[in-house]
A = this chain, B = another copy of it.
Amino acid sequence: MTTFNRSQGRAPDALRPVRLTRHYTKHAEGSVLIEFGDTRVLCTASVEERVPPHKKGSGEGWVTAEYGMLPRSTHTRSDREAARGKQSGRTQEIQRLIGRSLRTVFDLAKLGERTIHLDCDVIQADGGTRTAAITGAYVAAHDAVSKLLELGLIERTPVKDAVAAISVGIVQGVPLLDLEYVEDSACGTDMNVVMTGSGGFVEIQGTAEGEPFSRAEMEALLALADKGIRELVAAQAAALRA
């Protein structure tokens, strides 16, 4: 009933090709380039042997994230946030989301009093940068944890489960999985879903861009997201075995 055509004949419930390149840069404890089609995000995990003030003396660690877009990762150049002297509301919202999502799968006590910083920098943007960032950051964090285990700094892994994220939305009445930029722009309703490897919800952020959405539409979107995240979790596992 719809005439909307996705690029490269993609089915409404298909992810774009997902690529995870570990050890992408050499200094970080975890360094993963994740690609969702043309969206490319470099996720690095850096371990620091101290915690922010609110965790000092607690015996627990911390996991936090920062997010940025290179000025020309986008269609038209955006101002460099470092030059403007502040991070946009959007940037802060996204980095808070990434941090919260990752903490859900971490046992902070087992991590010990150290911090894992996840830096998610968008090299090229074509929709879904925040969901790619969460999905890639999990792999980077996992690699950093493996290093801590190897070095004997921790004995048991603090990672309780995998975590991944995907966007879903309704374009011209059709629920679509993993929106590209042009789909995102045309989108009536847009939802970012974060789930664990065992299928629990971590975050749901649904926004009606124009018309409000119904319960039924939400159900359809959640079903799509569930399918996509299962595939992402499989891709993460495959990358970590490689």
Query: Contact residues of A with B, CB < 8 Å?
Result: 25-28, 31, 38, 40, 42, 44, 46, 48, 66, 68, 70-77, 80-83, 85-87, 89-93, 95-96, 100, 104, 117, 119, 121, 123-125, 161, 191, 195-196, 198, 200-208, 210-215, 218, 222
Do A72 and B27 touch (CB < 8 A)?
yes
Do A123 and B27 touch (CB < 8 A)?
no
Q: Quick one: copies of this chain in the complex?
A: 6
Distance in angstroms from A36 CB to nearest chain B CB is 14
Interface centre among A71, A198, A222, by most chain B C-beta atoms within 10 angstroms, is A71
Interface centre among A77, A91, A218, by most chain B C-beta atoms within 10 angstroms, is A77
A71 to B74 Cα, complex, angstroms: 20
Supply 27 A–B pairs (Cβ within 8 Å), ascending by A: A26-B124, A27-B73, A27-B125, A28-B72, A42-B70, A44-B71, A46-B76, A71-B119, A72-B117, A80-B82, A80-B119, A82-B82, A89-B89, A89-B95, A90-B96, A92-B92, A92-B93, A93-B93, A100-B207, A104-B208, A104-B212, A195-B212, A198-B212, A200-B213, A203-B208, A204-B205, A205-B206
Do A77 and B117 touch (CB < 8 A)?
yes
Give every chain B residue within 8 A of A210 (Cβ-Cβ): 104
Give every chain B residue within 8 A of A195 (Cβ-Cβ): 212
Given contacts A26-B124, A124-B27, contact A72 B46 (CB under 8 A): yes
Give every chain B residue within 8 A of A123 (Cβ-Cβ): 25, 42, 123
Closest to A88 in B: B92
Given contacts A66-B71, A66-B80, contact A201 B206 (CB under 8 A): yes
- Give 7 new A-B contacts, CB below 8 A, not counting A25-B124, A27-B72, A77-B119: A44-B71, A68-B80, A70-B119, A93-B93, A196-B212, A201-B208, A205-B206
Do A208 and B212 touch (CB < 8 A)?
no
Do B66 and A83 touch (CB < 8 A)?
yes
Give every chain B residue within 8 A of A70 (Cβ-Cβ): 42, 44, 119, 121
